[in-house]
Amino acid sequence: MPDWDLLLTDARIATMRAGAPDYGEINDGALAITDGSIAWLGPATELPKGTAVESNSVAGRWLTPALIDCHTHLVFGGDRAAEFEQRLRGASYEEIARAGGGIMSTVRATRAASADELYAAALPRINALAAEGVATVEIKSGYGLDIENELKMLIVARRLGEASGVNVRTTLLAAHTVPPEFDNAVDDYIDLVCDELLPQVVEHGLADAVDAYCESIAFSAPQVAKLFHKAADLGLPVKLHADQLSDGGGAELAAFFNALSADHLEYTSAAGVRAMAKSRAVAVLLPGAFLTLGETRVPPIAELREAGVPVAVATDCNPGTSPICSLRNAMMLASRLFRLTPEECLAGTTREAARALGVFADRGTLEVGKRADIAVWDISHPRELAYWIGTPQLADLLIGGHTTRP
């Protein structure tokens, strides 16, 4: 019986181990895989004697943990290119939303689309992410806003995972905006989500987490709190779109509910950062939305760093505020627009993104016992991953120890 299924040799390895300096680098390394998990890794000189079913030299290429996109809305109908033009002419995101456009315009297109149509439109998006080294993607609902269409979105998201081989984590974002049917009865909508939708979602195992949009144009903190209590009762972790357009105390709210993450955070206060530091919440930064909306207020990066809050980076892929299907581009934007270091960007799309999805125990770093989700790169240093734009450098992507390249 061979000791390993696959042995990769002649590798430079960025393990991204927590607390390790310089990307947790192992020079002239080897990595062995058994049953889809990492069985051994370290300097080639220390490789224990053993046999492998298959042994491949990666010819000095870099291995990193496969990338994780921990915040996307990549299942949706239609597009919002016309709104993008309206905003270029001076209209604001809030004005468009209050006039019935914005998220609601995507809700109309998503409700009108069949599950098959949504699936066909989203498959190239998830494949584009995988082509850049992404092995785990979070997908939110939130463009259905009624029971039938929220369930439809989550089912499509699960199906995308099965078809693409990418591991999909689904999030119920029914509290994304108030549907017109409940215009003057927002609390009734929250009750519908708590009492009918959420129990069905749990019963069918369709969501791994619950998210909400806490903002003046969406839901208030008390409304979100009601939903989060219900999620906790049903055993689902929560995350929050927080403080994107104004300081609504979103970071504090997320921390109070021990959320996996608080996302956006452009307007988060010092008190919000302090609250997050006392919780497990990861700060998920979304530079694609910042860029697309022409924002000028940068999230409190220095304060987050100083307080030791883990920082992740994601695409926020959606048709309204972040029409970006490239996590590599999001890394570049996070370094250029928010001045994250390239190492913070890579940690933010591997280790910290795994924490933001609650999957750190089995992925996000290259360590013995973790899933063999590994990206193989044609680069001379991992800082290049947050530097090039639109430059293909992925030599292979292993998911659960299996190559996804022919």
Under rule CB under 5 A, residue 138 binds Fe ion: no
Under rule CB under 6 A, residue 103 binds ligand NIG: yes
Choose from Fe ion, ligand NIG, none: what does 320 bind? Cβ within 5-8 Å by kind.
ligand NIG
Residue pair 215/251 in contact by the 8 Å Cβ criterion: no
Q: What is the 3-state secondary structure (H, E, C) of the chain?
A: CCCEEEEEEEEEEECCCCCCCHHHEEEEEEEEEECCEEEEEEEHHHCCCCCEEEEEECCCCEEEECEEECCCCCCCCCCCHHHHHHHHCCCCHHHHHHCCCCHHHHHHHHHHCCHHHHHHHHHHHHHHHHCCCEEEEEEECCCCCCHHHHHHHHHHHHHHHHHHCCEEEEEEEEECCCCHHHCCCHHHHHHHHHHHHHHHHHHCCCCCEEEEEECCCCECHHHHHHHHHHHHHCCCCEEEEECCCCCCCHHHHHHHCCCCEEEECCCCCHHHHHHHHCCCCEEEECHHHHHHCCCCCCCCHHHHHHHCCCEEECCCCECCCECCCCHHHHHHHHHHHHCCCHHHHHHHCCHHHHHHCCCCCCCCCCCCCCECCEEEECCCCHHHHHCCCCCCCEEEEEECCEECCC
Choose from Fe ion, ligand NIG, none: what does 244 bind? Cβ within 5-8 Å by kind.
ligand NIG
Of residues 67-96, which lie at the interface with ligand NIG (CB under 6 A)?
73
When binding is defined by CB under 6 A, the residue of 179, 237, 248, 320 that contacts ligand NIG is 320
Under rule CB under 6 A, residue 213 binds ligand NIG: yes
- The window from 56-64, 161-169, 229-237, 315-323 that contacts ligand NIG (CB under 6 A) reads 315-323
When binding is defined by CB under 6 A, the residue of 101, 102, 342, 348 that contacts ligand NIG is 102
- The window from 7-15, 22-30, 269-277, 310-318 that contacts Fe ion (CB under 5 A) reads 310-318
Q: Taking the complex as a whole, how short is the minimal distance between the CB of residue 59 and Fe ion, in angstroms?
A: 39
Using CA atoms of 301, 305, 309, 310 in order, give the dihedral in degrees to the nearest 10: 90
- The window from 119-127, 318-326, 341-349, 395-403 that contacts ligand NIG (CB under 6 A) reads 318-326
Under rule CB under 6 A, residue 244 binds ligand NIG: yes
Under rule CB under 6 A, residue 288 binds ligand NIG: no
- The window from 154-162, 199-207, 317-325, 392-400 that contacts ligand NIG (CB under 6 A) reads 317-325
Q: Taking the complex as a whole, how short is the minimal distance between the CB of residue 46 and ligand NIG, in angstroms?
A: 45
Q: Which is nearer to ligand NIG, 318 or 365 (CB)?
A: 318
Choose from Fe ion, ligand NIG, none: what does 321 bind? Cβ within 5-8 Å by kind.
ligand NIG
When binding is defined by CB under 6 A, the residue of 15, 261, 268, 318 that contacts ligand NIG is 318
- The window from 118-126, 220-228, 319-327, 355-363 that contacts ligand NIG (CB under 6 A) reads 319-327
Under rule CB under 5 A, residue 303 binds Fe ion: no
Q: Taking the complex as a whole, how short is the minimal distance between the CB of residue 316 and Fe ion, in angstroms?
A: 5
Give the binding site for ligand NIG (CB under 6 A). Answer: 73, 102-103, 106, 213, 241, 244, 289, 316, 318-322
Give the binding site for Fe ion (CB under 5 A). Answer: 316
